[in-house]
């Protein structure tokens, strides 16, 4: 993803959305791997995604 972000950051919005129980682990992953795009904490509000045009994908 970092290479995609670097190549296309001026043409696309890159964000990672984490739920409350995964936010700390995801934040550490970003720090450890030098990831630069925004990391959003959705908390317990998963239903907020239903009001957006975002398509969520579960991480591996």
Contact 35, 1 (CB under 8 A): yes
Decide: pTM greater than 0.95.
Answer: no
Domain limits, the chain: 2-51
Task: Tell which wins on pLDDT, 14 or 55.
Answer: 14
Q: What pLDDT score was predicted for residue 5?
A: 84
Q: What is the pLDDT of residues 16-46, one digit of tens each?
A: 888 778 889 999 999 999 988 888 887 766 6
**Cα torsion angle, 46, 47, 48, 50, sign:** positive
Q: Of 54, 13, 18, 19, nearest to 37 (Cα)?
A: 13
Q: Where are the alpha helices (DSSP H) in 1-60?
A: 2-8, 20-33
């Amino acid at each position: 993803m970092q290479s995609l972000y670097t190549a296309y950051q001026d043409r696309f919005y890159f964000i990672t959305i984490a739920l409350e129980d995964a936010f700390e682990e995801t934040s550490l992953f970003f720090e450890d791997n030098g990831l630069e795009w925004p990391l959003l904490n959705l908390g317990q509000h998963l239903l907020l995604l239903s009001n957006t045009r975002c398509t969520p994908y579960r991480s591996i």
